Amino acid sequence: MQQRTISLYSEEERKRRDDSPWTLVQAILAPLQFLVFLVSVALILRYMATGEGLAAAAASVAIKTLVLYTIMVTGAIWEKDVFGQYLFAPAFFWEDVFSMLVLALHTAYMGVYLFDAGSPALRMQIALAAYAAYVINAGQFVWKLRLARLQKQAPHGAGMEASA
C-alpha cells in the first residue's frame, strides 16, 4: 500500500488559524449549536410522539437555523482569514459542499414554516432531515479537528500518514 502525507494546514495557515479571532468564535458557536440541536431534537420528538408542543418545537428549529446561519457566516470569514477564500478552500471543500445541503434543508424548513405550507408533521420531518444532514456535517468537522490535532502532535513539518 502506498503512503502519502496529509497536511491540513501549512505552517502559514496554522499561524493564521491560531491568530484569527474567528477561531475562538467558531470554538464557541460549534458547541452552542450542538446544544441547541439537542434541545430541538427533544422538542421535535416530543411533538411527534404526543402531538403537544408544536410551537416550542417550531421555535427551536428557527433558533437552530439562526445559529447555523451565524456559524456559517463566521465560518466563511474564518476560512477567508486562514485560507484566503470564503468557501470551498481545498482543506474544507467537502465539508463546505455538505454544509450547503445542511443550509438548504434548514432554509426549506424555514420556508414551509414561514409560509405555513404543509402539515406540522411534514415540517418536523423536514427539520429532522436537516438535522440528520447536520449530524453528518458536524462529524466531518470533528474529523478535521482530530486531523488538525494529530498534525499538531506530529514532528515539526510532518504530516499524517494515510493509505492511498
Report how far apart, in Å, the C-alpha atoms of 57 and of each of 53, 81, 88, 138 are: 6, 36, 32, 21
pLDDT at 164: 34
pLDDT at 161: 41
Nearest to 52 by CA among 44, 62, 60: 44
Q: Name the residue ranges covered by the structural domains of the chain.
A: 11-153
Measure the CA–CA gap between 151 and 97, rounded to whole angstroms. Answer: 23
Residue listed under C-alpha cell 503512503? 3
Q: What pTM does this model have?
A: 0.85
pLDDT at 149: 82
Q: Dihedral sign, CA of 67, 18, 77, 101?
A: negative
Compute φ and ψ for 162, nearest 5 degrees: -140, 150
pLDDT at 151: 78
Question: What cell numbers appear for 7 in the block?
Answer: 497536511
Classified as helix, coil or strand, 115 is coil
Per-residue pLDDT of the chain (164 residues; tens, 9 = 90+): 554 445 788 999 999 999 999 999 999 999 999 999 999 999 999 999 999 999 999 999 999 999 999 999 999 999 999 999 999 999 999 999 999 999 999 999 999 999 999 999 999 999 999 999 999 999 999 998 888 888 777 655 444 444 33
